[in-house]
A and B are shown apart, each in its own frame.
Chain A
Amino acid sequence: MQKLVFVIIFISVSFSYADEIIGSLAILNFQESSVISNDKFKEYSRGIDDISKMDNITILDSIQIVEALNTLDYTKNIHELFNSPDDAGKLGKYLHVDYLMMGNVNLDSIGFHLSSKIISSRSSSVVSVIDVYLEDVFSLISLESQIAMWELLGKNTPGFLKQERINALPKNGELIVEAKTPLGAMWRSAVLPGWGQFYSEKRNTGIAFPSLEGLLASLLLYNVSKYNTSVENMNKFSSLYHSSTNEEDIINYRNESKMYWKQHIDANNAMILLAKSAGVIWAINAIHAYMIAPRPKANLYGPDPPDSPSIIKSVSEFLSE
């Protein structure tokens, strides 16, 4: 009964803990202040200023980021933070924010792309990702040039070009990746202990759970082998006991049979205990995977006010007009 109450409390706490999603956000702005103050980036700077006025949002420039990382003894390049959710999580905890947002430009097989991530401080996991390929931007520029030509000629822009422009622009929320979910982590760990933890980029526990299960499984197999040997010997000596008519032999065979009988009971009890322990740890591993898994949410800091559409949506509407 006590065990049942404990399990119910444990699961209730873990689920209520998991539901805590909306919170504060720190944006890591890796751009140098001098670059931001350049005329070319005035618009960008104005956008950043607007965001910084929102509730629960802090914007850190590269100097502040470096200072914070120095306090945390982070010795790697600050741009590597983008691919290290564990370190980003530590930074988030240090800054007392629930989420960190940062961006990076990469070159891959398709081309240059801008990648932005939001990382949960608590779980040190990637919550959402937006990838914008420069190919798309170039296509848009080409399209805009065609439209500009029509404008210069003083003609009405063909409808299909306008429609293409609308279609080419990313829609609000469309690019948000929600690949990693608590349930995704849980079913993985339920199938293979530690898999869900690796999926959530929790390497330490990802190694600890399968190691523990492996240890228990090894002990279990050892006891299975011990059990089988004991039963075999018990039957052998019991048979010798019953077929013997020599008093001394009978006493020896009785003692041997008793010893192996006790050994098979002990091995059996150990097997049951180990199997139960392995099962409980397997279940804890699945629940743990659920608790520490990424918590995707399209809008982390609450719903958009009706009169304040997102930046992408605004641009899209502006262009369509």
Chain B
Amino acid sequence: MKSQKSIYLFIFLTLLISQSCETFELELDNPIDTIANEEADVFPPALTLYPLTIEASVNEQFTVSLFIVKPDTTLAGIHARLYYDVSNMVPDTITPGILFTNDGVVTPLFTNDISEGQIDINVFYLGDQFSYVDQTGHVADIYFSALTASTSDITIDSTESELVTPADQVIPLKGVRGSTVIIQ
């Protein structure tokens, strides 16, 4: 009886240990995280899209957010150029993020231009209003509608996109990160 119990205990412990002996890899990759971006060779100041991967169904709406990561200087405006696959998705609306509006307190100049597969977003402070930002933050939200089942990328053009200081100086953009959209 004793031996039977000890055999059960042994089997239980073996199962418990074998279940527990698995170790996991930790994958931390958030496009707003400077460390994660640096690990992906994207250095600040950077324009990134959040999230990195989007899953949507056909005819479903999904949102991609544009972020500026660690400008480390004063910014009075941003111009971002994005590309997307027109056959797979169509942009609906574009709204400003909370960084330049200071959570709705300030109203910067916010324009966007959507042409075939290309979106230009401009956000600028005008005159003496709340004149600059200097931190990581949310620039804009872009709402898309999924058209066909596919996998495609939304990318940021690092050469055409630019950051501007209150003195109208252009700050070089060192990194960009886009998103992958999986439509099912």
Binds B, one of A150-158, A250-258, A305-313: A250-258
Chain B residues, Cβ within 8 Å of A177: none
Assess whether B24 is in contact with A242, with CB atoms less than 8 Å apart.
Answer: no
User: B105 an interface residue at 8 Å Cβ cutoff?
Assistant: no
Chain B residues, Cβ within 8 Å of A245: 32, 50, 65, 67, 138
Assess whether B24 is in contact with A250, with CB atoms less than 8 Å apart.
Answer: no
**Known contacts A192-B2, A245-B50, A238 near B17 by CB under 8 Å:** no
B23-55 interface bits toward A, Cβ cutoff 8 Å, 1 = contact, 0 = none? 110111110110110000000000000110000
Category for how many chain B residues contact A: 20 to 34
Chain A residues, Cβ within 8 Å of B17: 220, 224, 271, 275
**Known contacts A254-B33, A268-B21, A238 near B7 by CB under 8 Å:** no
Q: Which residue of chain B lies nearest to A250 when distances are taken between CB atoms in the complex?
A: B33
User: A288 an interface residue at 8 Å Cβ cutoff?
Assistant: no
User: B155 an interface residue at 8 Å Cβ cutoff?
Assistant: no
Q: Give A228 to B30 CA distance when docked, in angstroms.
A: 25
Q: Which residue of chain B lies nearest to A226 when distances are taken between CB atoms in the complex?
A: B20
What would be 16 A-B contacts, judged by CB atoms less than 8 Å apart?
Answer: A195-B2, A217-B13, A224-B17, A227-B20, A234-B26, A238-B27, A241-B30, A242-B29, A244-B32, A247-B32, A247-B135, A251-B33, A268-B22, A271-B20, A271-B21, A275-B17
Chain A residues, Cβ within 8 Å of B138: 245
Interface residues of A (CB under 8 A from B): 191-192, 195, 217, 220, 224, 227-228, 231, 234, 238, 241-242, 244-245, 247, 250-251, 254, 257-258, 261, 264-265, 268, 271-272, 275
Chain A residues, Cβ within 8 Å of B2: 191-192, 195
Assess whether A261 is in contact with B24, with CB atoms less than 8 Å apart.
Answer: yes
User: B136 an interface residue at 8 Å Cβ cutoff?
Assistant: yes
Assess whether B28 is in contact with A241, with CB atoms less than 8 Å apart.
Answer: yes
Interface residues of B (CB under 8 A from A): 2-3, 6-7, 13, 16-17, 20-24, 26-30, 32-33, 35-36, 50-51, 65, 67, 135-138
- Beyond contacts A220-B13, A224-B20, A257-B26: 7 other A-B pairs, Cβ-Cβ < 8 A, are A191-B6, A234-B24, A234-B26, A245-B67, A250-B30, A261-B26, A275-B17
Q: Which residue of chain A lies nearest to B25 when distances are taken between CB atoms in the complex?
A: A261
Assess whether B136 is in contact with A247, with CB atoms less than 8 Å apart.
Answer: yes
Chain A residues, Cβ within 8 Å of B22: 268
Q: Give A227 to B138 CA distance when docked, in angstroms.
A: 37
Q: Give A220 to B65 CA distance when docked, in angstroms.
A: 46
* 5 closest cross-chain pairs (CB), A and B: A261-B26, A191-B3, A247-B136, A192-B6, A250-B33
Chain A residues, Cβ within 8 Å of B137: 247
Assess whether A254 is in contact with B28, with CB atoms less than 8 Å apart.
Answer: yes
Assess whether B23 is in contact with A264, with CB atoms less than 8 Å apart.
Answer: yes
Q: Give A191 to B5 CA distance when docked, in angstroms.
A: 10
